[in-house]
Structure 1
């Protein structure tokens, strides 16, 4: 029976098992044969007249990468003069509307809105803050900070400092700097040493 240390040694000896060859993150991948104009037209048709064809909205918006959804938004605006977000808000409701609008919102703007939601009102939603700062790349954190500054006129770091304290504040502020080492190089000896520290 192997110990935890044996399992760790196995992982460290084959670091390729810890990495993914693709640079794309997440489970929704680029759709082959993608045509933003066709998708925009299909979405427009699904929302025309009385009623909405929810299946078309779901099929298109959940089966395209975020970059592809942004191209669909542009094609939709070019064809109609309206934003896809506004039309989705007018034709759908409740949680269904919320998720569709989130899907077509540019990532940095979405993260900015989530940060605002986390610090709004009394108390702070720490779970949202952890998700935002622990799971985003340096580039994504910088884009969120830029979007926050454009939206509010204030520095995100400044407002973050006013919401959290102690070790949690120190940790989030380090993450919010967006300066983590994102290289795929692993120092095996250091990893083993760190893993054995109790």
Structure 2
């Protein structure tokens, strides 16, 4: 367990170093490279085709998980006394990047700590990664407030590490927090 935490911490630190070291414009290759004129300090990892946002989408910002967990609750089938950590996890994470700090939490929701803007989203597509939670394309389904996230229509969860539910049995209602790392990229889709 501590080895997994160490790997997740190392990947989070490495991801943050990449984001900080890549001073310049945010770029993305949807069909051809595009540049966000006022973006800074962010490197967007390669995006698998199945989870790319629609062509023409422009990055609003990219953020690295500095500290995060995927939280699972034990589910017990009827008539049994032990269960398993199955089903959806609930995130709890702190992100830092282009537009300052973001809190990621149940919903799933993302809220800017700088300007209070908030979005929620639903999974649109998934791309598996061995030994970790999948990379995702999420469709924003609600906006609150004005700020950096008010322009977001799509969200990618990329370069994931850790966060996988533990195997084995558990007791009903028991919870576990599994450390994870990722890069989140928020996209503005002019077609929406």
TM-score when scaled to structure 2? 0.21
Higher relative contact order at CA 8 Å, sep ≥6: structure 1 or structure 2?
2
Higher strand share: 2
TM-score when scaled to structure 1? 0.21
Higher-Rg member (1/2): 1
